[in-house]
Amino acid sequence: MTLTGQLFDAGCIQFGTFTLKSGLTSPIYIDLRLLVSHPALLRETAARMADLARGLVFDRIAAVPYAGLPLGTALALAMERPLIYPRLQVKEHGTRRAVEGTFQPGEVALLVDDLITRGDSKLEAIAPLEEAGLVVRDVLVLIDREQGGAADLARHGYRLHAVLRLSEMIDRLSASGRITAAQYSEVREYLNLVT
């Protein structure tokens, strides 16, 4: 079974009317937070991400909280590479670090997240890493929703790498009979409008 089929069967791909973090309204929602309840599927996604990551040069994996953290952890274990992560909010107590984990300024961090729609949240996650002296060149996600994220990152000098693209996933789900012709058409039409 394809990875797309496994994600669908695990309930990670849902159809309806959803408002995304980017503010866009979408007929499809990808909920990769569910992966933590499916260890075999989480391991498989990490293996697929590791296949792409092996072609990149980096010292540490930097996972984006919260959805990217389980994927980043699984990827770090699969590749035996160190993991760090930028905090969403810096604590007012303790070490008050903006980036958790150990690293040296000048090291290269591979930013890892679950998916990308637009580039805003990735740029927000990159900022504290670079402020801490890390170098970010590449962003690795499981799914590219193909809604401008790659272009947003490229405008700021970052390269996007994705295991899956939403248009290909929809094609596979339609070909395997997992979604209706109406669902397929609605998502295809939506992708043509927003890309």
Beta strand ranges found along 47-158 (DSSP E): 60-63, 83-86, 99-100, 108-116, 135-144
Provide the number of structural domains found in the chain.
1
What Cα–Cα distance (Å) separates residue 172 from each residue in 2, 39, 51, 107, 158? 9, 23, 21, 39, 29
pLDDT confidence of residue 132: 95
What Cα–Cα distance (Å) separates residue 110 from each residue in 33, 179, 181? 20, 34, 38
Q: What pTM was estimated for this model as a whole? A: 0.93
pLDDT confidence of residue 91: 55
Give residue 177's domain range: 3-194
The residue whose two tokens read 């092996």 is 54
Token representation of residue 72 = 């980043």
pLDDT, tens digit, for every residue of 40-49? 999 999 999 9
CATH number, position 75: 3.40.50.2020
Low-confidence ranges of the chain (pLDDT < 70): 89-96, 193-195
Q: Which residues neighbour 101 within 8 Å (Cβ) at sequence distance 6 or greater?
A: 60, 82, 83, 84, 85
